[in-house]
Amino acid sequence: MRIDIISIFPEFFGVLDISLLGRARQAGLIDLAVHNLRDFTHDRHNTVDDTPYGGGAGMVMKPEPWGEALDSILPATDETDAGTPERATGPVLIFPSPAGEQFTQAMARELAREPHLVFGCGRYEGIDQRVVDHFAGRGRVRLVSLGDYVLNGGEVAVMAMIEAIGRLIPGVVGNPESLVEESHEDGLLEYPSYTKPASWRGLDVPPVLLSGNHGAIAAWRRQQQIDRTRAVRPDLLPAEDDADLQPPANSK
């Protein structure tokens, strides 16, 4: 997968050289480039923002540097291509924004199948809306929010999204089975995990996990998922407990 990031803080993304995603880059599974938005300015001060039309607090990111930066990354479009299926196969352009659609595991899975993602990190009060409108006319644009809170800019949101998406790219996580039984993969929160020793500071590992009874272990884990989800994220559960939430039939 090819990933391009545009930001006024390219150094923010240095950590993508290390850990799992760093290894994935070295292995050629992820080809990642970070572009400094200020490289696409032409004034002495490398200005990227200006005051908002209509007044109000804060600054808005100017459209011209964004236009040039994105033009340098996105394939040139022939106006006659507009609306053809070709457009639907170009890169996905993602602008992190608290005003966007909610980022989820399902979206991470969907984006992990794309060959090319471009992330545009806004700062201040956001990017001039015409940047989004212009590029929406040239391809697939998504405004994506990490959650219902406000960050100082898109960089942290993009880091989180790249980590969630990157680990779903085939080959990035060594043992793909470890991706299956995770929180959100089946719509429920993950069950609690334990390792040795069997007793620690007076706390014992639940005996069922030492029983060797795989059916009973699967049933216990499933029930833990349901109990946990009901306790802290009831919004993830179906309206009525239905058959999908029952422990597996082989559990006894």
Q: Provide the binding-site residues for ligand ADE, judged by CB under 6 A.
A: 96-98, 145-147, 149-151, 154, 157
Position of minimal CB gap to ligand ADE? 96
Question: Is the distance from CB of 47 to CB of 79 less than 8 angstroms?
Answer: no
Residue 84 or 104: the one with the smaller Cβ distance to ligand ADE is 104
Q: How far is the CB of 149 from ligand ADE (least distance, A)?
A: 5
If we measure between CA atoms, which residue out of 220, 245, 221 comes closest to residue 234? 245
CA distances from 26 to 10, 17, 18, 32, 68 (A): 19, 9, 10, 10, 29
Contact 66, 127 (CB under 8 A): yes
Closest approach, Cβ 119 to ligand ADE, in A, equals 10
Q: Which is nearer to ligand ADE, 160 or 216 (CB)?
A: 160
Three-state secondary-structure class, residue 96: strand
Element (H, E) at 141: strand 140-145
Contacts 24+ apart (CB under 8 A), 128-135: 128/60, 128/61, 128/62, 128/63, 128/66, 130/63, 131/61, 131/63, 131/66, 131/67, 131/70, 132/95, 134/63, 134/67, 135/70, 135/74, 135/93
Nearest approach, Cβ of 159 to ligand ADE (angstroms)?
11
CB closer to ligand ADE, 132 vs 219? 132
Smallest distance, Å, CB 120 to ligand ADE?
Answer: 11
| Distance, first Cα to last Cα, the chain | 44
Cβ proximity to ligand ADE, 125 vs 190, nearer residue:
125
* Shortest Cβ 144–ligand ADE spacing (Å): 6
Q: How far is the CB of 146 from ligand ADE (least distance, A)?
A: 4
Which residue, 41 or 97, is less far from ligand ADE as judged by CB?
97
- Of 53 and 149, which CB lies nearer to ligand ADE in the complex structure? 149
Name the token pair of 211.
Answer: 């029983």
